[in-house]
Amino acid sequence: MNSNKDPRYLSLKYLIKKGDITTFKEIFDHIPYTVVAHDLHTNNNRMKKMIANPGLFHLGEVYQMAELIGYDPKKFALFVFKEVDELRKANQG
């Protein structure tokens, strides 16, 4: 992984673990989506769409983002999928 990664990723790990970040979208209150888009090798427009609908993420991108944050990939995937489920339920009702 890139040793020059943005130091804000480390703070995300602790904020998620501590429960201060409870939704995927809140991540981007602490780090610009443009930084994450660059590190995931995607364009800014696609990143904005994925923030609005995390179900658009590819599993590999979820894993890669977990690595950037230094967070357990399985736990991070569950964190993201929880929001996907909530969005689907909201759109069905």
pLDDT in tens, 36-87: 999 999 999 999 999 999 999 999 999 999 999 999 999 999 999 999 999 8
pTM of the model: 0.87
**Per-residue confidence (pLDDT) for residue 5, from 0 to 100:** 87
pLDDT at 2 over 70: no
Number of residues written out for the chain: 93
What single letter denotes the amino acid at residue 92? Answer: Q
Tokens of 26: 């809140």
Q: CB of 37 within 8 A of CB of 49?
A: no
pLDDT value at residue 3: 57
What residue ranges do the domains of the chain occupy? Answer: 8-88
pLDDT (mean) for 17-22: 95
CA angle, 13 then 17 then 18, to 5°: 115
